[in-house]
Amino acid sequence: METMIFNLFIFTLACFVGFEVISKVPPTLHTPLMSGANAISGITLIGALIVVGHAGDVMSTWFGFVAIVFATINVVGGFMVTDRMLNMFKKKEDNQ
């Protein structure tokens, strides 16, 4: 129970950090910010790695395996597509 309280502290503080850090975003960046943040939510990949790496029973391994695939799609696809979008903005600024 103590670790849970401790984790709740961390969670709450992280929420406030998130609000402060991203409070003002120009509309131009809404889509890239969302897809970038989306990629970060793929952090659950780390949980999936730990669950799968610990050779448990077959069921657990398969659930974890699917979790790894899902999360990796989220991470790799999310960061790549964000980069692609942001480069379109950049290319245009260079043209100026």
Partner 1 sequence: MNNPLVPAGFEELAVILIQLVYLLAVGMFILGLKRLSSPATAVSGNRMASLAMFVAVIVTLFDREILSFEYIIAGVIVGSLIGAVLAKKVEMTSMPELVAVFNGFGGGASALVATAEYIRVPQTGMDFAGIPVNVLITMSISVFIGSITFTGSLIAFGKLKGILSGNPFVFPGQKILNALLVVLVVVATVMLILDPSNWIIYASIGGISLLIGILIVLPIGGADMPVVIALLNSMSGVAASAAGFVIDNNILIVAGALVGASGLILTMIMCKAMNRTLTHVIFGAFGSEAVGLLGPETAGGKSIREVSPDDLAMMTAYAKRVIIVPGYGLAVAQAQHVVREVADQLEKRNVDVKYGIHPVAGRMPGHMNVLLAEANVPYPQLADMDEINPDFPKTDVVLVIGANDVVNPDARTNPASPIYGMPILNADEARAVVVFKRSLNPGFAGIDNQLFYNENSYMFFGDAKKSLSSLLEALKEID
Site for partner 1 in 39-78 (CB under 8 A): 39-57, 59-61, 63-78
Cα-based distances in Å from 59 to 30, 51, 56, 63: 39, 11, 8, 6
- If one asks whether residue 94 binds partner 1 (CB under 8 A), the answer comes out as no
Cα separation, 73 vs 82, in Å, equals: 13
Residue written as token pair 């502290």:
9
Shortest approach of partner 1 to residue 71 CB, angstroms? Answer: 4
Residues from 12 through 31 that contact partner 1 (CB under 8 A): 14-19, 21-31
Smallest distance, Å, CB 73 to partner 1?
4
